[in-house]
Amino acid sequence: MNDEDNTHGGKRAGAGRKSGTGTYREETSVMRVPNSQKPVISDFLEAYAKKQRLAQLKDHLDRIEEFTQLSAELDQVSLPLFESKVPAGLPSPADDHVDARMDPNAYLINKADKTFFVTIQGESMIEVGLMPGDKAVIEKDKVPAVGDIVLAMIDGEFTVKTLAKQKDGMPKLLPANSSGRYAPILISQHMQFEIWGVVTGSFRKF
C-alpha cells in the first residue's frame, strides 16, 4: 500500500481550526509553563482577549453613559390631545379639536419602579428614530424577544441595539444605520453579555 492509498491517520489537509478564528484571533503555539503559574497566565490572557474584543467593538457600541432612575410614584399630568391634523401652527385649546387629554407619563411608562432612562450617544440606531441626545425609555423587567430594541452590556460597556440570533442560537446585536459605519455585534461564549432592559419608547427636546 503506497502513501496515496493511506487515508487513515496523520494530519489531513485543511483539518483543524483555521488560523485567526480562535479566542485571540491569531495563530497560537504550545509553551511549557510552571503549573503554579497557570492561573496567573490564564487570567492575563483572558484580560488580553477582553481588551482586544473591546478595541474591535469600540466603533460599534454607541456607549451609554447617562442613566436616570424614575421615582416609584409619578405625578399625574393632564395635557390637551389634538386628534385633528394641523397644517400650520397650533389650534387654540378652546377649539373643538380637543378630543381628549393625555398623561405623558402614562403614555411612555408602564411600570415606574421598573423603568429608567438612558441618553443615546451615537448614531447606530437613527433609522429606528433614536438620535444622539434622545432619552430612551428602558423597562428592565420586560422579557426581551428577537426584534426588540434592547439595552445590553458587553464586557462592561453598554449599547442600544436590536436583538437577533445567530445560526448557532447565540445572540446578535444589530444596528439600524445603513451607512455601513456600524457592524452587527456577534456575541460569543467568551464575552460577558447581559440584557439590562427593553427599549419601550423615547423622547427628545428640540
d(CA 113, CA 203): 19
Domain ranges, ordered by start, for the chain: 60-203
pTM exceeding 0.75: no
Task: Give me the sheet containing 135-139, strands edge to edge.
Answer: 67-69, 115-119, 135-139, 193-203, 149-154, 157-165, 171-174, 185-186
In the block, cell 432612575 appears at: 69
Q: Which of 19, 84, 135, 161 is catalytic?
A: 161
Q: Which of 124, 135, 142, 202 is catalytic?
A: 124
Query: Cβ(128)–Cβ(199) under 8 Å?
Result: no
Instruction: pLDDT band for 9, please (50, 70, 90 cuts).
Output: low
Strand-pairing partners, residue 174, are 162
If one looks up domain 60-203 in CATH, what number appears? 2.10.109.10
Instruction: pLDDT band for 73, please (50, 70, 90 cuts).
Output: low
Q: What percent of the chain has pLDDT over 90?
A: 32
For the question of residue 165 being annotated catalytic, the response is no
- Is the pLDDT at 149 greater than 90? The verdict is yes
| Average pLDDT score over the chain | 77
Q: What pLDDT, in 10s, does the model give residues 164-201?
A: 999 999 999 999 999 999 999 999 988 889 999 999 99
42-52: buried (b, 16+ CB within 10 Å) or exposed (e) per residue? eeeeeeebeee
For the question of residue 124 being annotated catalytic, the response is yes
95-117: buried (b, 16+ CB within 10 Å) or exposed (e) per residue? eebeeeeeeeeeebbeeeeebbb
Q: Which stretch of DSSP H or E encloses residue 138?
A: strand 135-139
- Is the pLDDT at 140 greater than 70? The verdict is yes
